Amino acid sequence: MTNRVAIAIGAHPDDIEFNMAGTLLLLKKAGYEIHYLTLASGNCGGAEYDGPTLSTIRNAEARGAAKILGAEFHLCVKNDLEIFYDLDTLRRLAAIIREVKPMVVLTHSPQDYMEDHTNTCRLVVTAAFARGMPNFKTIPSRAIVNSDTVIYHAMPHSLRDPLRRRIIPGAFVNTASVHKTKHAALAAHKSQQKWLDVSQGLNCYLLAMEDMSLAVGRMSRKFKHAEGWRRHLHYGFSAADVDPLREALEKNYQVNKAYERDLEKGT
Ligand SMILES: [Zn+2]
């Protein structure tokens, strides 16, 4: 594998900044070209504006955040609560995957608190799976790619699945050195501060990110600020079971040995 390209794909503007942006920034420092895509426009994330107006505001905020991260920005393809596991979305997402040709794909957890996140995860997995299948047509049409790709799933919101069970990361990334930039990118989503305070009791979205970052850091027993990841099974994605995050991030990456032991035991 030689294509040092990574893409983070979240459901909504600000999802990437909550629990993926630190790793994305470290990959950039390690020489990766990085890309930023949210599937939905963010049009339902507020009550002060109508949907199209809010989409425009949030699109500008997301562009600003991507600029802070130094990532190439990709335009959303759907609206909030309209991310379904459907063919149209799959074709559009597969086109972006074929264009970007990522070695590393960062996306949501297969278990998360709301369906836009879990549907995004499923769509990303299939779009990446279809990258080399000539009979799967994309919108717009894009040539197939045959390079390997490795998918990493971020920690779910509140670090729990929808049934309240704790999710344990398979690996930790030390994000302390890029935490300020991650914070600045999240703060670029200004429209979300008031909305999340009112709608989800997050108190302050910046503090919520801070808390999650510190909590994953504590789980690592090594890093102060961290992001947690679980690597997708490699079949259909790469020839061998490789871990490009470990290779790229070196001392800032720590495999969770307890998780690996549980995988071996089958528990
Ligand atoms: Zn979201």
| Amino acid identity, position 39 | L
3-state class percentages of the chain: helix first, strand second, coil last, to nearest 5: 45, 15, 40
What's residue 205's pLDDT?
84
pLDDT at 2: 63
Provide the pLDDT for residue 47: 86
Distance between Cα 11 and ligand 1 center (Å): 5
Could you say which residues of the chain have pLDDT below 70? Answer: 1-2, 197-203, 267
Using the mean position of ligand 1's atoms as its centre, give its distance from the Cα of residue 127 in Å. Answer: 19
pLDDT computed for residue 212 by the predictor? 96
pTM > 0.85: yes or no: yes
pLDDT at 200: 66
Distance between Cα 143 and ligand 1 center (Å) = 30
Is the Cβ–Cβ distance between 64 and 188 less than 8 Å?
yes
d(CA 20, CA 25): 9
The CA 15 to ligand 1 mean position distance, Å, reads: 5
Tokens of 33: 């070209």
At a CB cut-off of 8 Å and minimum separation 6, what does 45 contact? 12, 13, 54, 58, 80, 191, 192, 195
